[in-house]
Amino acid sequence: MEMFLKRWKNKSDSINIADKIADLKKLPVPDHVAIIMDGNGRWAKKRALPRIAGHHEGMKVVKKITKLASNLGIKTLTVYAFSTENWKRPQLEVDYLMKLPEEFLGTFLPELIEENVKVQMIGQKEAIPKHTLNAVEKAIRDTSENTGMILNFALNYGSRAEIMLAMKEVFKDIKNGIIDENQLDEQLFSNYLMTDGLPEPDLLIRTSGEIRLSNFMLWQLAYTELWFTDVYWPDFSEEHLLQAVFDFQKRSRRYGGV
């Protein structure tokens, strides 16, 4: 984080997060940040703890990063909470992961409402346990009138499945005469994705040292800036998010141009 910290090298050691936020907001911040929150299990194993302890610690980080992202002026924060492939994990771990949204939203929802954060979700609802879905849908209802940052949970989400479902809907609408196949372009197809109404991510963050997308927003990430860190998600700090935004601001986004 040397580049980021160098900006404040001549300032007091007591400089706080609010000062750093104010400094970063002098330049455009990403409208949409997506995070693959990886490394909870390895964080726990390193400490001789059960994997679920890592997931519980990671939940605390989501709260902290959500608040910071909102204060930074980020308009949408998408967090990859559970993938379509995560069902392959041990049943005990899956059951615990499906309880986390209840615990997270049960304790954090009043703050989300106070912070004017709006909760949304992408993913296939059918396989999600009722108690989990009820907690998420309650948060969506209770924050539906909020006008601040969108906290978007990717829950039972897989990008390939999303694209296949979108294709089926497109074919159905063509067959029923709702759209003409000659109308179909990238923008129209995007309207059939689960992220319809959301901007494509400007910045993707992945923790834990893995350098891959893991079936996450494959269509939407076509021109997203990627930022990887070796830090496990439970150790991901406010300074790490500030560093990622700082690095984003240093990049030139040409979208294929010059």
Catalytic residues: 38, 86
Cα-Cα-Cα-Cα dihedral sign, residues 55, 90, 43, 218: negative
User: DSSP assignment, residue 234?
Assistant: G
Q: Are strands 76-83 and 150-157 parallel, antiparallel or unpaired?
A: parallel
Helical (H) or strand (E) element with 16: none
Cα-Cα-Cα-Cα dihedral sign, residues 94, 39, 194, 174: negative
Q: Which of 15, 188, 173, 156 is closest to 81 using CA atoms? A: 156
Distance of CA 28 to the CA centre of its chain: 19
Contact 60, 105 (CB under 8 A): no
User: What residues contact 116, with CB distance under 8 A and at least 6 apart?
Assistant: 70, 146, 147, 148, 149
